[in-house]
Amino acid sequence: MSYLEIKNLRKKYSKDGPLIIDNLNLSVEKGEFIVFLGPSGCGKTTTIRMIAGLEDVNDGEILIEGVNIIDKKPKDRGVSMIFQSYAIWPHMTVFENIAYPLKLQKVSKAEINKRVKAVAEATDISNLLKKYPAQMSGGQRQRVAVSRAIVVEPKIFLMDEPLSNLDAKLRVSMRTELKNIHNKQNSTSIFVTHDQSEAMSMADRIVVMYKGKIEQIGSPMEVYEDSATKFVAEFIGTPPTNFFKTRIEKIDGVLMAVNSSFKYKIPNSLVKALEKYVGKEVDMGVRPEFIDISPEMEKTEGYICDTNISFVEPQGSHSILITRIGEVEIKIHTVKYMYMKPNTNVALNVKSEKVMFFDCDSTKRIKADNL
């Protein structure tokens, strides 16, 4: 049995309102670092708040170690939380803030002292214990919030966009630190964010959510390389996946993805799967780094069309080239041609094994093996 299990979870804010969470199922193993990733309004925060007990559940079950906790008060669930605003109590010193949950548990004074000191040591805020939150920087408040969350030794550690109020540099360093603390405490964590690079760098598994539904659950690389839906392919990766609206047609016995600008020969591995779609529209997606360009106008098996590079955005280690194919703006990630000048004519080839096709109605990926 999994450590945390969510079964058929549903949530509506008002009786006739839309489903905020629509039939969510998830199981989490002990010690995992799970990241809920999605755009704002996708229900990720609502889900984490339901686990914490701060939102009512309309339907479904949440089990921790096999026990349904839906009817339990937040304080009896054994979870702790880091809030977006940190929620450090301004009228208490750092010590009092961290000691608060222990005091409520009626832990002895000496024990409180010991545990708070130990936690403060671990999060490097020992010298701040007597200060009030108003006298501290954002990063320090964040550490206090973390200390308070780990001092109670929770079963599950919930984090609701804890890094979004920090400046960019601190955010990156806090990431590593949070992950470090997670590993040291050997805790089970659920982390909510809308920042995909945060999700990619921290997660054991990412849960991509969209409009109250789970789009895909998988390791960062799985989600990236093997996106299950068009949304996932679009949401993950900077710049996002390039999409073309194409039509599957059989021309002279060869399956092609056809568009007003190009005809692309479907790679053999996908022929079987796409044969059903002949005459139908599908979305073709290619990640920016899987597009090869050739200023020498060399055409490979994955040839799409010739085009003109209109902008070059240098990023230091690589450049992003921007071109238009028909109505669509295409971004290309290149290291080899990073010093290219704008207004160059090139041939565009894609890496055929990396091309993705998505069903237009269900937005699901059309995979080679789903016959």
Among 18, 39, 41, 74, binds other proteins (CB under 8 A): 74
Among the candidate windows 4-12, 74-82, 114-122, 333-341, which touches other proteins by CB under 8 A? 74-82
90 binds other proteins (CB under 8 A): yes
In terms of Cα–Cα distance, which of 165, 162, 106, 99 is closest to 129?
99
Do residues 288 and 357 make contact, with C-beta atoms less than 8 angstroms apart? no
Instruction: Determine the Cα–Cα distance for residues 68 and 1; give it in Å rounded to an integer.
Output: 13
Distances (CA, A) of 329 to 159, 238, 303, 310, 326: 36, 15, 18, 10, 8
In the complex, minimum distance from the CB of residue 173 to other proteins, in angstroms, rounded to a whole number: 24
Number of residues that bind other proteins (CB under 8 A): 23
Of 110-169, which residues contact other proteins (CB under 8 A)?
134, 148, 152
Asked if 204 contacts 32 with a C-beta cutoff of 8 angstroms, the reply is: yes
> Which segment (49-57, 245-253, 290-298, 324-332) binds other proteins by CB under 8 A?
49-57
**At closest approach, how far in Å is the CB of 160 from other proteins?**
9
Determine if 17 is a binding residue for other proteins (CB under 8 A).
no
Rounded CA-CA distance 286/244 in Å is: 9
Nearest to 44 by CA among 276, 241, 170, 207: 207
Only segment of 69-77, 265-273, 319-327, 339-347 that touches other proteins (CB under 8 A): 69-77
Which residue, 96 or 249, has its beta carbon nearer to other proteins? Answer: 96
- Of positions 84, 201, 261, 294, contacts other proteins by CB under 8 A: 84
Q: Which is nearer to other proteins, 87 or 254 (CB)?
A: 87
Q: Is 75 in the site for other proteins (CB under 8 A)?
A: yes
* Residue 101 contacts other proteins per CB under 8 A: yes
Region class of 121: left (phi > 0), else alpha (psi between -120 and 50), else beta: alpha
In contact, 348 and 303? CB cutoff 8 Å: yes
* List of E strands, 266-327: 281-286, 291-294, 303-314, 319-325
Residues that bind other proteins (CB under 8 A): 52-54, 73-75, 79-81, 83-85, 87, 89-91, 100-101, 104-105, 134, 148, 152
